[in-house]
Structure 1
Amino acid sequence: MRNILILLGIVLGIAVFATKSGFFNKQKVATKEKENETIMDSRNVKEVYFAGGCFWGTEHFFQQVRGVVGTEVGYANGNKQNPTYEEVVSHTTGFAETVKVKYDPEQVDLKLLIDLYFKTIDPTSLNKQGNDRGDQYRTGIYSTDKATEAVIKAEVEKLAKNYDKPVVVETIPLKNFYRAEDYHQDYLDKNPGGYCHIEPGLFEMARNANPLPKKSETKYQKQDKKVLKEKLTPEQYKVTQENATEMPFKNEYWDETREGIYVDITTGEPLFISTDKFESGCGWPSFSKPITKKLIDEKLDRSVGMTRVEVRSKTGDAHLGHVFNDGPADKGGLRYCINSASLKFIPKAEMEKKGYGEYISLLDKK
């Protein structure tokens, strides 16, 4: 069933690209190239690999969880190098569709990730999840170190007591993992409403499963409109609070090329970094992605006779701009077209002094 959907999706994708429409419906949240979105040093990030049937839904599910800082779909524990999707579905290579999950153990516990994973699968079903059949859809949690393996085995044994049938989830070390083709990455992010074996309500559950501690919710706060009217310029207020659009090529940051960070003008919360900024020719600041999609909302916008995807800051609920699928392919194919009036630019030299020092590593790693 999914093979047919993939072919239809590719054909439709080519057609849309050929028309250069630039518009597509997107689900909010989820992430592209999240390994570049984390602000933490790599030594604080751990990896675990989840095989849970079709990897499109499993990846999207884990992208919702606070503390997950990177995901990548691929093929794990097979018997050849660099398999293609066609080889995997031929049942001759032994690979399982798997999601590489990078997480910050200081923000989310591995035990919680395993518990959430169990909610997305039937752990007693062998080589079958949802409408998908075949050994590539088997379930498993694969580890890369002994400590992680021990936690996985203990948690699966504990959860297995809740089932009458034997649990067939593999709990073995990772032998190999190969990144899947680009069109599989962030599939549900790029194809809202696409095929998924996971019940949609579980995505919302994942978003709420690991809330921020109360003490962490005070740094950036939504401002009252009366306060904003006094604080912002008339144009900044109209753009952020009334969904206006500033003039192209006549705004503050469309041609800004310095290194630094772009924050929400209403709250000061970091949203974009200069290394994700590119010249698109549209006359507004253009970014290939936000620092993390957990800080923005993306909503369908049918105003002014067009169908677009609006981008808003999650904390400040400020209108930022729109996102289109005509960005550079080598940067993920997206173009976040953002109003300068919604942003405040902090040059790299001032980031430490103004409280954004922890984000400097994002600039240094590019």
Structure 2
Amino acid sequence: MEAYMARIPGVQDVTSGYANGEGKNPTYEDVIRGDQGFAETVHVKYDPQQVSLQKLLESYFRVIDPTSLNKQGNDRGVQYRTGIYYTLSEDAKIIGQAVEAEQEKYDQPIVTEVMPLQNYYLAEEYHQDYLEKNPNGYCHIDMTVLDDLEIGIDPAQYPRPTDEQLKERLTDEQYAVTVNNDTEHAFSNEYWDNEEPGLYVDIATGEPLFTSRDKYDSGCGWPSFTKPIVPEVVTYTTDTSFGMERTEVRSRAGDIHLGHVFDDGPEDRGGKRYCINSVSIRFIPLDKMEEERYGYLLSFVE
């Protein structure tokens, strides 16, 4: 569960621990004995501007059986009961609503505990980042269920500067491409052959647009991607310039010209080729994403 929750964009830190039992400073051996009533838990810290409590609860319910008492997967015992333990009283209502909605999916009653967090202790160091330390270790959770989790990127966090401000901030070439729909030269631009892992953001606003995971060498001389990081961050218009009909790609928040999308991309990856001007985007290396406040999107790159 620790590794699963840590992969959710917007989650800042996850630690393993023991909660809602009796006694002080329990060891793992104390917990598995079951007589102190501790539950094995993960403590999740998250940025509510990037991921909501509702989304975290939805993710949690995807990988548990909330009707199963004191067991999950092959694990048995009171320490394996499902539970949601909150630290803010106002969260209780949100959690209650989530449980009610989840109950509609089951004939059996949900037995997941919902209580204030009490008597929480950090688990031993060898339990922290367990799957990272033991990549072949036991885990009954299917991490692929996160693949279709809808992650919101809020355009309000990336306001568009005025054209005057853009003219001051951008180079002449950047302005010509992003505002006047020009096109940079192929094979001599900054990112066409960049293979470093990281994130590509709108040069005007910083809104995340593409990732290195979806970048590929199309041979066209411009950065090419199979898809945007999420569909909503780009918009499309019909471009009839130069006697052709093409589909223009623009950024959502910045409303700047990015490039065009074509139907000659890799078939096994959706068949699309997003042909993007390097001057319309800025690259943020993987090891700089946290520093530049894009840490909530690390799972899209790693």
| TM-score relative to the length of structure 1 | 0.46
Structure 1 residues 100 and 296: CA distance shift in structure 2, 3 A? closer
Gaps in structure 2 of 5+ consecutive residues: 161-183, 198-280
Distance 1:59 1:87 in 2: 20
For the Cα contact (< 8 Å) 1:126–1:139, is it kept in 2?
yes
Identify which of structures 1 and 2 has the higher relative contact order when contacts are C-alpha pairs closer than 8 Å and 6+ apart: 1
State whether residues 65 and 209 of structure 1, in contact with CA within 8 Å, keep that contact through their aligned partners in structure 2.
Answer: no
Letter of the structure 2 residue corresponding to residue 156 of structure 1: V
| Matched position secondary structure for 1:269 | strand
2:8 to 51, 65, 71: 65
Q: Conserved in 1, the CA contact under 8 Å of 2:7 and 2:299? A: no
- Cα 1:172–1:90 shift into 2, 3 Å: same
Instruction: State whether structure 2 residue 169 is matched by structure 1 residue 228.
Output: no
Residue 199 of structure 1 deviates from its aligned partner by 1.9
Give the counterpart letter for 1:163 in structure 2: Y
Specify whether residues 103 and 200 from structure 1 end up closer, same or farther in structure 2 by C-alpha distance, changes over 3 A only: closer
In the alignment, what sits opposite 1:149? 92
Aligned residue runs from structure 1 range 16-35, under 5 A: none
Listed one character per residue, the Cα deviations across residues 216-256 of structure 1 (whole Å, up to 9, x for unaligned) are 7999xxx98641389xxxxxx89959xxxxxxxxxxxxxxx
Tell me which residue corresponds to 1:79.
Answer: 22
Q: How many residues align?
A: 192
Q: 1:212 aligns with which of 153, 164, 167?
A: 153
- The residue type equivalent to 1:269 in the other structure is I
User: In the alignment, does 2:89 pair up with 1:127?
Assistant: no
What percent identity do the matched residue pairs reach? Answer: 44
Structure 1 portions without partners, runs of 5+: 1-57, 231-236, 242-265, 277-289, 298-313, 316-366
Q: Which amino acid letter does the alignment assign opposite residue 209 of structure 1?
A: E
Q: Aligned pair in 2 of structure 1 residues 217, 62: CA closer, same or farther (>3 Å)? A: farther
CA distance change for structure 1 residues 193 and 182 in 2, over 3 Å: closer, same or farther?
same
What is the Cα deviation at residue 182 of structure 1?
Answer: 1.1
TM norm structure 2: 0.55
Q: Deviations over 1:252-277 (max 9, x none)?
A: xxxxxxxxxxxxxx94526547xx9x
2 CA distance for matches of 1:291 and 1:161?
36
2:31 to 83, 88, 91: 88
Secondary structure (helix, strand or coil) at the match of 2:84 reads: strand
1:2-41 Cα shifts (integer Å, max 9, x gaps): xxxxxxxxxxxxxxxxxxxxxxxxxxxxxxxxxxxxxxxx
* Deviations 1:66-102 (CA, angstroms, capped at 9, x unpaired): 1111111100101011111111011122110101111
Matched letter for residue 210 of structure 1: I
Residue number among 278, 284, 290 corresponding to 1:269 in the alignment? 284
| Correspondences of 1:1-366 after superposition (within 5 Å) | 58-205=1-148, 208-213=149-154, 226-228=188-190, 240=196, 267-269=282-284, 271-272=286-287, 292=295, 294-295=297-298, 314=301
AA aligned to 1:119 is R
* Deviation digits for residues 302-348 of structure 1 (CA, Å, limit 9, x no counterpart): xxxxxxxxxxxx39xxxxxxxxxxxxxxxxxxxxxxxxxxxxxxxxx
CA RMSD of aligned residues (A): 3.4
Report the CA distance shift for 1:96/1:296 in structure 2 as closer, same or farther (over 3 A): closer
Runs of 4+ in 1 over 3 A off after TM superposition: 213-219, 223-226, 237-241, 270-273, 290-297
Q: Which amino acid aligns with 1:212?
A: I
